[in-house]
């Protein structure tokens, strides 16, 4: 018997226990076959997060029903049925892709990791952009998630003859809001959203139970009313949800990178100061950018990063600022650094 600081589900209603007792540690699921086997047994499952900076990633615990019970609602909104073939090019270790594969099978559709004969494609904004540079072929639907979808890219996809479906969610929260792009997202069925001091809180049947391991940095929190947050900032405008990102994190190509652990690793190798920021990019959401105060660190850290960091954790841009701007209280002015990064890119 293992005690974990998790939320928990009972009879489809989310509530927070502080400490939940789990008698069987959930199986880590990375395939649709594993998912359906756990569903048939009525077992909890574990899903690995992507884009972490600690090298190990977190395991999210959820019920299979928290996904399955949403499929009919989503399929109805998007007018999807069994007559489609899905193209899911990404790995099943990504919860976004696994969700798509399981939904396709639930609807009685075939899916594959190649585009041949596909009528539905699962994309991030970056992969959709690359796809549109080629012939869309037989595709009629594009499902886009993992980062905010710019309205311009949505319009380009529509001009290519695609019906575009966009959603905002998180591995911990599952589906939160749906629309055609990031400028028209509204609450998904049975989802309640509250913005408290600029932070989005969500209550729905689709929430996870929490993390398998202790949530020491409080990156995910749940209150006594069953509302959960992963720290994403946002605001409501005329019933639409506008997502403004997660403090202390960068979302790039569908993966969320926690900055503090990664900055600590880079600083341990540096002569001067190192700051990580996200530079806005319409294709990948944000480009992870390292800003150094000592020019000698540019070649040193680039070389170290190539050997020790991979995927979303490796900065794609490196900038030298000889003097870091400070606030009136003497702290590093992150807003000014972000402005300098933007100007260097213009």
* Three-class HEC string of 35-60: HHHHHHHCCEEEEECCCCCCCCCCEE
**53 assigned to some structural domain:** no
CA atoms of 276 and 99, how far apart (whole Å): 31
Q: What is the pLDDT of residue 54?
A: 37
The number of domains in the chain is 2
CA distances from 8 to 59, 97, 166 (A): 15, 24, 28
Q: What is the pLDDT of residue 330?
A: 57
- Please tell me whether residues 157 and 97 are part of one structural domain: yes
Q: What is the pLDDT of residue 260?
A: 76
Which pTM value belongs to this model?
0.73
CA atoms of 147 and 210, how far apart (whole Å): 22
Residue that terminates a domain, selected from 245, 263, 278:
245
CA atoms of 255 and 170, how far apart (whole Å): 10
> Which 3 state secondary structure label does DSSP give 77?
helix
Secondary structure of 100-153 as H, E, C letters? HHHHHHHCCCEEECCCCCCCEEEECHHHHHHHHCCCCCCCCEEEECCCCCCHHH
We report the CATH number of the domain holding residue 74 as: 3.40.50.12780
Residue that terminates a domain, selected from 215, 245, 275:
245
CA atoms of 277 and 290, how far apart (whole Å): 7
DSSP string of 270-317, one letter each residue? -SS-EEEEEEEETTTEEEEEEEESSTTHHHHHHHHHHHH--GGGS-SE
Residue that terminates a domain, selected from 205, 224, 245:
245
The residue range of the domain holding 141 is: 65-245
- Please tell me whether residues 181 and 315 are part of one structural domain: no
**1 assigned to some structural domain:** no
> Which 3 state secondary structure label does DSSP give 17?
coil
**Below-50 pLDDT ranges, the chain:** 1-23, 51-56, 329
Q: What is the pLDDT of residue 263?
A: 86
Q: What is the pLDDT of residue 96?
A: 92
CA atoms of 147 and 125, how far apart (whole Å): 7
């Amino acid at each position: 018997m293992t005690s974990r600081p998790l939320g928990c589900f009972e009879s489809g209603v989310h509530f927070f226990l502080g400490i939940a007792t789990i008698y069987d540690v959930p199986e880590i699921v990375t395939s649709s076959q594993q998912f359906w086997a756990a569903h048939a047994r009525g077992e909890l499952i574990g899903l690995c997060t992507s884009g972490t900076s600690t090298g190990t990633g977190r395991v999210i615990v959820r019920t299979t029903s928290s996904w399955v019970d949403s499929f009919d609602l989503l399929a109805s909104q998007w007018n999807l049925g069994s007559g489609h073939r899905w193209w899911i090019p990404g790995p099943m270790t990504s919860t976004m892709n696994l969700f798509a594969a399981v939904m396709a099978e639930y609807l009685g559709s075939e899916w594959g990791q190649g585009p041949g004969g596909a009528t539905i494609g699962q994309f991030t904004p970056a992969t959709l952009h690359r796809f549109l540079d080629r012939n869309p072929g037989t595709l009629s639907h594009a499902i886009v998630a993992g980062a905010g979808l710019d309205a311009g890219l949505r319009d380009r996809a529509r001009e290519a003859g695609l019906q575009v479906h966009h959603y905002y969610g998180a591995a911990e929260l599952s589906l939160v809001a749906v629309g055609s792009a990031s400028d028209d997202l509204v609450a998904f069925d049975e989802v309640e959203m509250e913005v408290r001091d600029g932070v989005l809180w969500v209550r729905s049947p689709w929430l996870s139970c929490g993390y398998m391991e202790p949530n020491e940095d409080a990156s995910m929190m749940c209150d006594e009313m069953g509302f959960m947050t992963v720290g994403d900032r946002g605001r409501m405008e005329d019933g639409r949800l506008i997502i403004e990102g997660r403090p202390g994190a960068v979302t790039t190509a569908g993966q969320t990178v926690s900055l503090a652990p990664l900055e600590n690793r880079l600083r341990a190798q540096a002569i001067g100061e190192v700051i990580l920021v996200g530079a806005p990019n319409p294709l990948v959401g944000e480009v992870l950018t390292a800003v150094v105060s000592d020019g000698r660190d540019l070649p040193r850290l680039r070389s170290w990063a190539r050997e020790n960091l991979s995927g979303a954790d490796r900065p794609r841009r490196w900038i030298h600022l000889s003097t870091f701007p400070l606030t009136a209280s003497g702290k590093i002015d992150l807003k000014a650094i972000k402005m300098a990064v933007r100007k260097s890119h213009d």
